Amino acid sequence: MTIETVVLTGAAGRVGSALREPLRARLRRLVSVDRAPLVPGGPDEEVRRADLSSVEEVASIIEDAGDAGVVDAIVHLAGVPDEAPLPDLLEGNVLGTHHVLEAARLTGVGRVVLASSNRLTGFHPAGRTVSADTPPRPDGLYGVSKVAVEALGRLYADKFGLQVVCLRIGSLEPEPAGPRHLATWLSPRDCAGFFWAALTAPDVTFTAAYAVSANTRRFWELDDRLGYRPLDDAETYADRFPGTAGHLSGDDPQGGDFAAADYTLRHLPGR
Written as tens digits, the pLDDT of the chain (271 aa) is 789 999 999 999 999 999 999 999 999 999 999 999 999 999 999 999 999 999 999 999 999 985 555 899 999 999 999 999 999 999 999 999 999 999 999 999 999 999 999 999 999 999 999 999 999 999 999 999 999 999 999 999 999 999 999 999 999 999 999 999 999 999 999 999 999 999 999 999 999 999 999 999 999 999 889 999 999 999 999 999 998 877 888 999 999 999 999 999 999 997 6
State residue 248's pLDDT score.
Answer: 84
Task: Report how far residue 171's alpha carbon sits from residue 244's, in angstroms, rounded to the nearest whole number.
Answer: 17
Task: Report how far residue 208's alpha carbon sits from residue 261's, in angstroms, rounded to the nearest whole number.
Answer: 27
State residue 66's pLDDT score.
Answer: 59
Is 127:249 a contact under the CB 8 Å cutoff?
A: yes
Q: What is the 3-state secondary structure (H, E, C) of 41-93?
A: CCCCEEEEECCCCCHHHHHHHHHHHCHHHCCCEEEECCCCCCCCCHHHHHHHH
Is 269:88 a contact under the CB 8 Å cutoff?
A: no
Q: Hey, is 35 helix, strand or coil?
A: coil
Residues tagged active-site: 142
| Phi, psi dihedral angles at 270 (to 5 degrees) | -100, 20
Burial category of 101 from C-beta neighbours within 10 Å (exposed 0-12, middle 13-18, buried 19 and up): buried
Q: What is the 3-state secondary structure (H, E, C) of 79-117?
A: CCCCCCCHHHHHHHHHHHHHHHHHHHHHHCCCEEEEEEE
State residue 152's pLDDT score.
Answer: 98
Residues 6 or more apart in contact with residue 92 via CB below 8 angstroms = 78, 79, 80, 84
Q: Which CATH superfamily is domain 5-265 in?
A: NAD(P)-binding Rossmann-like Domain (3.40.50.720)
